């Protein structure tokens, strides 16, 4: 029975079911009289339908939320990828500092750094601090480039304090013995150096090597020996040539009033370097007896060659004193008579004889090996090269050390160019050796026969 109104009386055994779901054309607000046993079951079914509808709506909302989050995450990743793919924006323009402004920003340690074992002080720390502060706050020079250079120099020199190491290898005895075997005509020089190093080991003080003067004809190996000595002592070397000198600025710097003033080699080696005892090669010192305007460049050595005065050497460009008393000076000359007596008296002289054939062969082997190590520094590559033949070494032995070095350089280049690891005779491009013309026979006497053996 269907009624739009609630019945006034419900028959026994029946109940009213409200809002029942029926056909599409049936109103939703009808009341159904159904047996009482079905009322509870119909209500439970209605509740179950509501629960299922709620869960379905919840799943739909969750799916919609998940889809939205996925779209948002994908959009964020796309934006991040686009940002990453774009080149970074150019940095904000900042005016570059001038060299003077950059130097003004340099600093030095506030306190004196501690001394490493075996190091010596090569300049006065407090004086250097005062000079650095003066350069910053009240520079005496009006040339900003010079002031900036000095600030950079002092900042570098003072970074680790005034301490510089003393080069003294532990195996110096074995190394000197090897040097003497390579260049036996320099054995007396090697002995003198060995005695100085032995005394330093005994006293625990830095080695005190006197200035050494190597005399002898050109080609006996004076310059080569000095470079090998620097390798043995494991120290730096600087060559100061006197064949065409104009002033003493090479060692002690140019005067500050010159527009192109620059510090000297001693300042670079000691104050800005790592060692207090580099080797300074005074090459061809006999040719520096007379310079321009009646100036004798060798006279500038008088202060440097005396240990007492060398302990307070002033660089003319930096205008600052430092200790150069540990420097090892080795001079070379062909004619000792051309050296002034005051300068010559400060050296221990050694006259180097021409090496005999055995000495020449040893020297040739030494220069060949040294040239190979210098030009092919990678040991694995160097080991692929064969040694020169005995005949090639014999021909090299008759050349001067400089000529031997140049011939070995040419041979290495020729072998590398052709992809070889052995040497042909033509690689060395040795100069032809010719004999002098025989003297004419004496008048009225028997003709003399001269036999010349010419190396090919």
CB-hemisphere CA count at 13 Å for 196? Answer: 19
Give yes or no for a contact between 169 and 233, defined as CB atoms under 8 angstroms apart.
yes
Q: What is the pLDDT of residues 96-144, one digit of tens each?
A: 788 888 888 889 998 999 999 889 999 999 999 999 999 988 877 678 8
Cα–Cα distance for residue pair 330/209, rounded to 1 Å: 10
**pLDDT value of position 35:** 80
Cα–Cα distance for residue pair 169/178, rounded to 1 Å: 14
**Model confidence pTM above 0.75:** no
Cα–Cα distance for residue pair 14/32, rounded to 1 Å: 10
**pLDDT value of position 94:** 64
Burial label, 376 (beta-carbon count in 10 A; 0-12, 13-18, 19+)? middle
Contacts of 435 by beta carbon, 8 Å cutoff, 6+ apart = 452, 454
**DSSP code per residue over 39-75:** HHHHHHHHHHHHHHHHHHHHHHHHHHHHHHHHHHHHH
The residue with tokens 């509808």 is 53
Give yes or no for a contact between 250 and 387, defined as CB atoms under 8 angstroms apart.
no
Q: What is the pLDDT of residues 157-180, one digit of tens each?
A: 999 899 999 988 889 999 999 999
**pLDDT value of position 440:** 44
**DSSP code per residue over 93-135:** P-PPPPHHHHHHT----SSPPPPPTT-EE-S-HHHHHHHHHHH
Contacts of 245 by beta carbon, 8 Å cutoff, 6+ apart = 288, 291, 297
**pLDDT value of position 65:** 83
Would you put residue 429 in left (φ > 0), alpha (ψ -120 to 50) or beta?
A: left
Give yes or no for a contact between 410 and 428, defined as CB atoms under 8 angstroms apart.
yes
Cα–Cα distance for residue pair 430/392, rounded to 1 Å: 9
Radius of gyration of the chain (CA): 47
Q: In 132-211, which ranges are E strands?
A: 163-164
Neighbour order of strands in the sheet with 237-241: 237-241, 279-283, 328-333, 212-215, 348-351
Please tell me the chain's helix, strand, coil percentages from 3-state DSSP, rounded to the nearest 5: 45, 10, 40
The residue with tokens 């379905």 is 56
- The two counts, helices (H) then strands (E), for the chain are 17, 12
Burial label, 335 (beta-carbon count in 10 A; 0-12, 13-18, 19+)? exposed
Spans of the chain below 70 pLDDT = 1-8, 17-31, 91-95, 141, 244-249, 257-260, 289-296, 431-456
Q: Is the dihedral of CA 349, 354, 359, 360 positive or negative?
A: positive
**pLDDT value of position 74:** 86
Q: What is the CATH number of domain 172-351?
A: 3.40.50.300
């Amino acid at each position: 029975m269907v009624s739009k109104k609630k019945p006034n009386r419900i028959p026994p055994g029946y109940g009213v079911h409200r809002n029942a779901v029926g056909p599409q054309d049936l109103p939703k607000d009808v009341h159904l009289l159904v047996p009482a046993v079905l009322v509870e079951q119909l209500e439970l079914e209605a509740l179950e339908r509501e629960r299922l509808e709620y869960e379905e709506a919840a799943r739909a909302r969750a799916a919609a939320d998940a889809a939205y989050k996925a779209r948002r995450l994908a959009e964020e990743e796309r934006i991040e990828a686009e940002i990453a793919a774009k080149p970074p924006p150019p940095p904000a323009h900042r005016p570059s500092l001038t060299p003077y402004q950059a130097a003004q920003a340099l600093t030095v340690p506030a306190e004196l750094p501690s001394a490493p074992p075996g190091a010596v002080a090569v300049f006065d720390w407090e004086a250097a601090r005062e000079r650095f502060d003066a350069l910053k706050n009240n520079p005496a020079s009006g040339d900003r480039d010079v002031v900036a250079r000095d600030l950079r120099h002092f900042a570098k020199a003072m970074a680790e304090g005034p301490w510089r190491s003393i080069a003294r290898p532990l195996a110096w005895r074995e190394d000197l013995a090897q040097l003497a075997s390579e260049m036996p005509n320099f054995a007396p020089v090697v002995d003198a150096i060995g005695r100085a190093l032995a005394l330093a080991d005994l006293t625990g003080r830095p080695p005190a090597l006197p200035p050494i003067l190597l005399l002898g004809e050109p080609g006996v190996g004076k310059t080569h020996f000095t470079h090998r000595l620097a390798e043995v002592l494991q120290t730096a070397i600087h060559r100061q040539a006197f064949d065409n000198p104009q002033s003493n600025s090479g060692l002690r710097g140019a005067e500050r009033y010159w527009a192109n003033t620059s510090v000297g080699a001693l300042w670079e080696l000691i104050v800005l370097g790592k060692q207090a005892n580099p080797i300074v090669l005074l090459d061809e010192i006999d040719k520096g007896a007379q310079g321009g305007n009646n100036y004798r460049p060798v006279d500038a050595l008088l202060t440097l060659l005396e240990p007492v005065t060398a302990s307070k050497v002033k660089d003319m460009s930096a205008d600052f004193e430092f200790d150069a008393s540990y420097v090892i000076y080795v001079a070379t000359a062909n004619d000792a008579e051309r050296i002034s007596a005051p300068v010559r008296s400060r050296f221990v002289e050694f006259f180097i004889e021409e090496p005999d054939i055995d000495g020449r062969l040893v020297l040739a082997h030494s220069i060949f090996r040294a040239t190979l190590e210098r030009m092919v520094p990678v040991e694995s590559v160097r080991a692929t090269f064969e040694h020169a033949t005995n005949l090639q070494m014999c021909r090299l032995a008759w050349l001067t050390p400089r000529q031997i070095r140049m011939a070995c350089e040419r041979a290495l280049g020729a072998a590398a160019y052709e992809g070889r690891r052995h040497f042909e005779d033509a690689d060395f491009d040795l100069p032809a050796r010719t004999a002098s013309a025989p003297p004419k026979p004496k008048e009225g006497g028997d003709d003399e026969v001269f036999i010349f053996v010419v190396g090919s």
